[in-house]
């Protein structure tokens, strides 16, 4: 049963992996998380989480076949909370260099591969660095300067650098975006659900902002105008 004192968190099950660990992660962080493949159920939740593991083209194909894309389009249009993890975040952008793949185009930006000479995949624990002075820096309380778990060869690059909340260094790839936020959409390149206590802190910090977004009691999220559907 959904507990009204905790934000309901719908983890989209579209056949793209890590739904169970994402559910456990958001539950541990203070959400009332559940897995769903039903569009109406997802649309009614306070928060929608888009997980993703694997090749972006495969993830996009299964997401489109699931009928859940319309849920994401509607939520982003109405400035409702969405959280993307790894490929689940990447597929929201306009284009990926992985297989020269068009994305959903719900966020302005592209997904790039690490440059030649940088070891791929970037796998393991690495330091998350806050962008100082960013309005969402508080989301990284207890997280900035700590290590989170990464496994990827590509990363999202928003059109507007102001949407980058935190960065990470990997070899010669210095300062690539690893936490992004635009409007009600937040994404992490690392896996907070696999990052132990540090990941739990980040999710708890972010969930604490849900009451400031449309769909929950609060004044709204005036500081973060929604991107709209592109």
Edge-to-edge strand ranges of the sheet holding 101-102 = 101-102, 95-96, 109-113, 154-158
Q: For the ranges 28-32, 146-150, 192-196, 211-215, which has the lowest average pLDDT?
A: 211-215
Name the active-site residue from 122, 163, 191, 224. Answer: 191
pLDDT of residue 223: 37
**Average pLDDT of the chain, as a whole number:** 90
Task: Give residue 13's pLDDT.
Answer: 96
Residues 59, 146, 178, 193: which is the catalytic one? 193
13 HSE (CA, 13 A, CB side) = 11
Catalytic member of 59, 86, 168, 178: 86
Of the pLDDT bands very low, low, confident and very high (cuts 50, 70, 90), residue 229 is very low
Contacts of 201 (CB under 8 A, 6+ apart): 29, 141, 142, 143
Query: 214 pLDDT exceeds 70?
Result: no
What six digits make up the tokens of 65? 């076949």
Give residue 221's pLDDT band: very low, low, confident or very high (50, 70, 90). Answer: very low
Check whether 86 has a pLDDT greater than 80. yes
Is 191 a catalytic site residue?
A: yes
Identify the pLDDT of residue 211: 60
Q: How far apart are CA 205 and CA 170, in angstroms?
A: 25
Give the model's confidence band at 1: pLDDT under 50 very low, under 70 low, under 90 confident, else very high. Answer: very low
Based on the residue annotation, tell me whether 97 is a catalytic residue of this protein: no
Q: Is 122 a catalytic residue?
A: no
């Amino acid at each position: 049963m959904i507990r009204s004192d905790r934000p309901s968190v719908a983890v989209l099950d579209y056949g793209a992996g890590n739904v169970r660990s994402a559910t456990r992660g958001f539950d541990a962080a203070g959400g009332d998380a559940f897995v769903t493949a039903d569009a109406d159920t997802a649309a009614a939740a306070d928060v929608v989480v888009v997980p993703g593991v694997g090749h972006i083209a495969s993830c996009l194909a299964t997401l489109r076949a699931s009928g859940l894309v319309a849920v994401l389009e509607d939520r982003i249009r109405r400035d409702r909370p969405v959280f993307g993890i790894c490929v689940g975040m990447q597929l929201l952008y306009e284009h990926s260099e992985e297989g020269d793949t068009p994305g959903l185009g719900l966020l302005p930006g592209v997904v790039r591969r690490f440059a030649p000479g940088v070891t791929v995949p970037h796998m393991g624990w690495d330091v998350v660095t806050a962008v100082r002075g960013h309005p969402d820096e508080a989301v990284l309380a207890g997280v900035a300067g700590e290590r989170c778990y990464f496994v990827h060869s590509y990363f999202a690059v928003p059109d507007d650098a102001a949407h980058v909340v935190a960065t990470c260094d990997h070899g010669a790839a210095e300062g690539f975006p690893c936490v992004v936020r635009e409007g009600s959409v937040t994404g992490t390149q690392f896996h907070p659900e696999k990052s132990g206590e540090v990941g739990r802190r980040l999710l708890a910090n972010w969930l604490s902002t849900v009451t400031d977004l449309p769909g929950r009691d609060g004044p709204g999220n005036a500081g973060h105008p929604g991107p709209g559907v592109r």
